[in-house]
Amino acid sequence: MSEAVATSHLRENPYELARTQLEHVGEVFGIEPNLIRVLSHCKKVVEVSIPFQRDDGTVGVFTGFRVTHNVARGPSKGGIRYHPDVTRDEVKALAMWMTWKCALMALPFGGAKGGVVCDPKSLSEKELERMTRRYTSEIINEIGPERDIPAPDVGTDSRVMAWIFDTYSMNKGHSVLGVVTGKPLSVGGSLGREEATARGSLYCIQALAGKRGQRVDEYTVAIQGFGNVGSNLARLLHAEGAKVVAVSDSRGGVYNPHGIDVPAAVEHKRETGSVVGLAGTDAITNEELVELPCDIFAPCALEQVVHAENADRVQASVICEGANGPVTPAADAILEDRGILVLPDVLANAGGVVVSYFEWVQGLQEYFWQEDEVNAKLRDIVARAFEETWQTRERYQTSLRMAAYGLAVQRVAEATTTRGLYP
């Protein structure tokens, strides 16, 4: 795995960035230093070895993680990613960000995250299943509906969640619907979960348009990443009348200043595995996409794509963080100085965990809702969180990110204080 580390997309240690952000929040919002000290550490970090049989009979061994950051507000919640660049500190940072995201949305969860250092695209479906089931077996004592509830993330999907659900349930002797979210509908998934993260981003963009006296159909948008979040966001914005001028995936991007045919892009990706080569577009790199002239740039892939070296070349007036941590703190400062508004990840991509919460509740009750009910409840929660964040921003005269983090950290700090230290 040394090659993957050498070419990692991570320019800075994400856990150190997350802790620095937390310390800054503590200073701005006057949070007790002892609480910041507690919240800057993860409650539990589990590292496991994952041996599994490949199709040719050889045995592969991957490294996996499951991290719980905080459980002051409830059981921990967070995705599992399969990616060659997964590191212990990346998973710890993502777990911390999940704590803030759940608190900002007022969900009764703390933050967690999981990861396996692998390239899922290099595995056959059977190898992926065997590896997933072994990983689940290794972390089985860490997860559960009242303890820690995984979900999909980069490189994982509903199929992977079904394997985790089945492996856990087989070990328990009965079906445990609440152990993971993002499951297929046939085994207790929720309507609306597949596009929930993108829909939450759309609701944030709509709320911002309302604040600015604008309409979504006036916007031009560039979207980096064309997986679950990016493709669904492109589709939803296109349906609202916005002009999607660029999209990309791990192989490269395509650009048309007059607008891309989004349904054709989705079909092209389904047929070829990439958006590259889409008819009626020009080829661009992922790096070039970041700097395109547009109203909204939505990074929906990986962390740290906007950094100190390219932040001064961003031409969008708004960045909507569909991914976790795509803008570094150094870039944040440059963008703030330039008057570029950042809709932060803990607000803009929280739709996924909100509908994961709905799925968890439905699983516990074994009573399932209609899709329009799910979307209406999602809109209510995102709209409320956006308004609270906007008001906090104006009150403290700070960035939207600092306002969102401030609200979230205060809520977790209050729960921590209320519960007290044991023993």
The residues annotated with a catalytic role in the active site are 113
Q: Which amino acid is at 296?
A: I
If you compute the radius of gyration of the chain from its CA atoms, what whole number of angstroms results?
Answer: 20
Q: Could you tell me if 112 and 91 are in contact, meaning their C-beta atoms sit under 8 angstroms apart?
A: no
d(CA 71, CA 218): 42
Would you state the structure tokens that stand for residue 10, as one six-digit string? Answer: 């991570």
- Please classify residue 86 by burial: count the beta carbons closer than 10 Å to its beta carbon, then call 0-12 exposed, 13-18 middle and 19+ buried: buried
Exposure string of 272-298, with b = 16+ CB inside 10 Å and e = fewer, is: eebbbebeebeebebebbbbbebbbbb
Beta bridge partners of 65: 47, 115
Residue whose C-alpha is closest to residue 296's, from 355, 228, 348: 348
Cα distances (angstroms) measured from residue 328 to each of 20, 26, 205, 297, 406: 11, 19, 21, 15, 18
Would you state the structure tokens that stand for residue 94, as one six-digit string? Answer: 């993502």
Q: State the first-to-last Cα distance of the chain, in angstroms, to the nearest integer.
A: 41
Residue whose C-alpha is closest to residue 67's, from 14, 25, 6, 133: 14
Residue whose C-alpha is closest to residue 340's, from 379, 291, 383: 291
Contacts with 348 (C-beta within 8 Å, 6 or more apart), sequence order: 200, 201, 204, 320, 321, 322
CA 300 distance to own-chain centroid: 8
d(CA 318, CA 301): 17
The residue written with tokens 């791990």 in the block is 250
Q: Could you tell me if 207 and 350 are in contact, meaning their C-beta atoms sit under 8 angstroms apart?
A: no
d(CA 145, CA 179): 5
Cα distances (angstroms) measured from residue 421 to each of 35, 43, 135, 414: 11, 13, 32, 13
